[in-house]
Structure 1
Amino acid sequence: MDVKVVDKWGDLILEVGASLRVDLSSEGDGEQFSEVDPEQQSDSDSDSEQPLARSLRQDRTPSPDSSVAITDIPLRILVSSKVLTMGSLVFKEMLHGSFAEAQLHFNQVDPPTLSLPEDNPRATLLFCEIVHCSPSVHHFKGYKTLHELGIFADKYDCTRSLRSWFRGQLFRFVGAGLDYFDIDALLNEGMSAQQMLKLCFLMNDAEMFALASKTVYTHVSPSEISPKLETLYEDEVPERLVDLLCSFGRHSIHDFAGIGPALIAHVSRQHKWYGYFAPIPCETTQEEDELDHSQVTGLCYGNIVRIGVLGATLASLSLLPSNDPEVDSKRSPVAMLRKLQRLGEIDFGDRKMCCPKTARCNCGHDLDIKFELDKKIKVAKQKARGICLGCVKDDTEPISDFLPSHNSRCERHVSWGE
């Protein structure tokens, strides 16, 4: 049986997937495998290959590692036992602990065989190539392969050794603000924010998980978070993860919904309000009652009309706070952000809404809300932050203990358990 050589000076052969008996070549998602002999490459480019498949491969950017189908099950991989134990705590305990595998005589002349019958050959090969620093593993692998690797890494406790490589795979999707993933870039690779969230959870990467969690709860409404995750997870979805995503999403929605009333209060030059349109009454002297109201507060006829139009616009765009949880559950922060940006493009300084000339009012100035709106949007966006991976995995503390006033610099905001 052929041996896949990852380390030509290797002293151990891994025999992977004996109990699977699956041809993984039919499950590929566009990723490529490393190091292929010229004879194998010429065989794969033979006339028997389908023209469409050949043309698709020719259109790809050439790389040192041509596409190799894993057809030999089990797959035999020549590796270094020392590198393997450095990359995985489980392999370290297995090969140097009290297990039977520790009795193997590792040597380069006649390497012993370690059987891993239930492991995924593709994920095992990729792990070996990464920890052996193979130059052929730096191109993007696709969600399916990364997910298989995440399951393998979780089983063999090797997330630390894979972290820098894993982040290299994901950094191409980080947005301009470096605090979220670009949804369009993910879609171009056939991925979703929920898939990215699961990958970061499996790989135990707190920094990438924070970006993924923020991307999910800002782009997905609270009512859709659980259904979308249920379609992604084969087993039960972590309930605490869903609760945290929904809670953070609702708080972000609340922050964006508060922009409208704050904007109206700013325009009307009132610091505190009853509801959205009625200023708080205060005791006034008789002399103050006789003063022109427009000179004291600026709320002349024209400005009142403009404020009314602004309030009606906010209501029509569903940008005002709601006491109905059902309404908030169907909102998403990103959708509200887009509506607020549209609001800033509306001209509320139409002179047709000014007081009549006979009133001799100076409300003819343009009403510009753009600057104040942009400032409040920036504040609301800065409040949104990623969820701490440690807070997700530690279910001993209730969510209310650290939400929403939980410090973003959480002491547990490190890779969990490391």
Structure 2
Amino acid sequence: MAPTSESELILVDPDGDLILKVGSERGTAEESEPNASQNSSDGPEAATQEVAENKRPSTLRIRVCSKFMTMCSPVFNAMLSGSFREGQLPLSPLEPPTLELPEDDPRSMVELCRILHHKWDPRLEAFPFGVLETAIVADKYGCSAIARSWFHHRFLRETAKKSGYSRLDLAQLIKISYVLDDVEAFYFLTLEAYKRWPTKKNKSDVFISELSRIPPLPKVHEILEQIAIAQLRELTTCCYEILSVLCEDRRVWGGLGAHSTISTFEREEGVPKVCDGQAYRMAQFIQALYEFGLSLPLDNYRKPATLEEAICIVRQIAKSHVKDTLVPCVNTNCYSCETAWDEVIEDMAEKFENELHGICLVCLRRGDFTACKIVTKCTEHNDGFASGWSMNSGRDTRNFEKLTE
């Protein structure tokens, strides 16, 4: 929204019967200095946000229709229809009275009033940084359900115009969905967050600091980190379990072959029995997993930077085993030799990624952190969601170049 003077009247409804005077000079002055110091070291996106903050009006008068306000907000309904002092205001389109709201943010209240009057304009605010405070005001006045529809429209509109969101954007979006109690959005946004969560130590400071800003999200960044590490271990386990599938020869062994071990300086890796034709391929696959840090226990220095990157690595390893020259197998109709290893490994990676899930906001709010389902999806509250919450249509775990931040 363009900068406005204190005396300017925003006509949300030109025929409205009520004027809201929002904000106060004193409150804005007291908040400006700490906000500036807090944002100074958070990068270009935060710097842009800080410039926008400096242009914000200290107070605004907003002409609205009291009927819309009371119909959409139980808080305004109680204020204007009850026995409070505000309830005695002589509402009139000829001489609308003034209701003072000194504790609220003027710009956010203007946007909320436009939402309630079906007159909001997506061009007025930056997304997502211009949306969080509006969500906070909507929650304060009991308008979260209405604001969720506005948030969904804004998200879909902005996603169609850009190739992706930064992790800082993602933190903002998670906070917005949390404030608006948007269970579905929170589910998909947290899924995207832990896929991109840096799994190596001391790499998530910016993301954590953004999630820790007001309003704080209890336990969210700890849970995201736990899920990222747990799912990385699960992917590594799947990579070794798929070897048993690839080396199973039902005709010769009647099931899985006896396991052997490969000894390293640090530990022993278990491997299934393998036919002559696949021994080299098996060794190459295990070596690649080890070199990229996809072996248990996870090595903090060698493991992939993110879960998303780890999935991409597994896909790339699958491709590298397609055209190897193999030693002829002594067994005819060998199951392992006839199996397309690249397709089996690729299908495993695809299935793993498709079964990833987000955090259950319902369980999180009631304090049941174990029910947030670190590895197992919460089916009590998270079934039947739409699939339209794709954060980054350009991101693809089949191509490293498309995973850049």
The reply to whether TM is greater than 0.5 is yes
CA distances 1:356-378 after superposition (whole Å, capped 9, x unpaired): 9xx89999978742210121112
Distance of aligned partners of 1:410 and 1:73 in 2 relative to their CA distance in 1, 3 Å threshold = closer
Structure 1 residue 333 corresponds to structure 2 residue 307: yes
Q: 1:1-400 to 2 correspondence within 5 Å? A: 1-20=7-26, 73-134=58-119, 136-137=121-122, 141-172=126-157, 184-187=163-166, 192-222=169-199, 223=201, 224-225=203-204, 228-235=207-214, 237-269=216-248, 271=256, 273=259, 276-279=269-272, 299-300=275-276, 302-320=277-295, 322-324=296-298, 326=300, 331-351=305-325, 353-354=326-327, 368-395=340-367, 397-399=368-370
Quote how far apart the aligned CAs of 1:163 are: 1.4
Report SS of the residue matched to 1:185.
Answer: coil
CA distances 1:290-322 after superposition (whole Å, capped 9, x unpaired): xxxxxxxx612x4212211121112112223x2
CA distances 1:213-238 after superposition (whole Å, capped 9, x unpaired): 00101111355456622244334843
Rg larger for? 1
Distance of aligned partners of 1:331 and 1:72 in 2 relative to their CA distance in 1, 3 Å threshold = closer
Quote how far apart the aligned CAs of 1:8 are: 1.6
CA distances 1:84-140 after superposition (whole Å, capped 9, x unpaired): 112222212222223221111111111110001121111011111111111634676
Q: Distance in 2 between matches of 1:209 and 1:400?
A: 15
Q: TM-score, normalised by structure 1?
A: 0.70
Distance of aligned partners of 1:137 and 1:123 in 2 relative to their CA distance in 1, 3 Å threshold = same
**Does the CA contact (< 8 Å) of 1:221 and 1:331 recur in 2?**
yes
Q: Distance in 2 between matches of 1:156 and 1:96?
A: 15
Q: Distance in 2 between matches of 1:123 and 1:344?
A: 50
**Does the CA contact (< 8 Å) of 1:124 and 1:149 recur in 2?**
yes
Quote how far apart the aligned CAs of 1:347 are: 3.6
Q: How large is the RMSD of aligned CA atoms in angstroms?
A: 3.7
Q: Distance in 2 between matches of 1:126 and 1:268?
A: 61
Equivalent residue letter for 1:215: E
**Does the CA contact (< 8 Å) of 1:183 and 1:192 recur in 2?**
no
Equivalent residue letter for 1:373: I
Q: Distance in 1 between matches of 2:187 and 2:303?
A: 22
Counterpart among 358, 374, 379 of residue 408 in structure 1: 379
Q: Distance in 2 between matches of 1:354 and 1:172?
A: 55
Equivalent residue letter for 2:314: L
Structure 2: gaps spanning 5 or more residues: 1-6, 33-53, 250-255, 262-268, 386-405
CA distances 1:273-295 after superposition (whole Å, capped 9, x unpaired): 46655437xxxxxxxxxxxxxxx
Q: Distance in 1 between matches of 2:173 and 2:372?
A: 27
Report SS of the residue matched to 1:228.
Answer: helix
Quote how far apart the aligned CAs of 1:81 are: 0.8
Q: Distance in 1 between matches of 2:307 and 2:158?
A: 20
Equivalent residue letter for 1:167: H
**Does the CA contact (< 8 Å) of 1:13 and 1:112 recur in 2?**
yes
Q: Distance in 2 between matches of 1:360 and 1:212?
A: 50
Q: TM-score, normalised by structure 2?
A: 0.72
Count, aligned residues: 340
Distance of aligned partners of 1:316 and 1:278 in 2 relative to their CA distance in 1, 3 Å threshold = same
**Does the CA contact (< 8 Å) of 1:250 and 1:328 recur in 2?**
no
Q: 1:40: which partner in 2?
A: none
Report SS of the residue matched to 1:86.
Answer: helix
Structure 1: gaps spanning 5 or more residues: 27-68, 176-181, 281-297
Kindly, what percent of the aligned residue pairs are identical? 22
**Does the CA contact (< 8 Å) of 1:230 and 1:237 recur in 2?**
no
Quote how far apart the aligned CAs of 1:389 are: 1.1
**Does the CA contact (< 8 Å) of 1:138 and 1:169 recur in 2?**
no
Q: Distance in 2 between matches of 1:192 and 1:74?
A: 28
Equivalent residue letter for 1:83: F
Report SS of the residue matched to 2:63.
Answer: strand
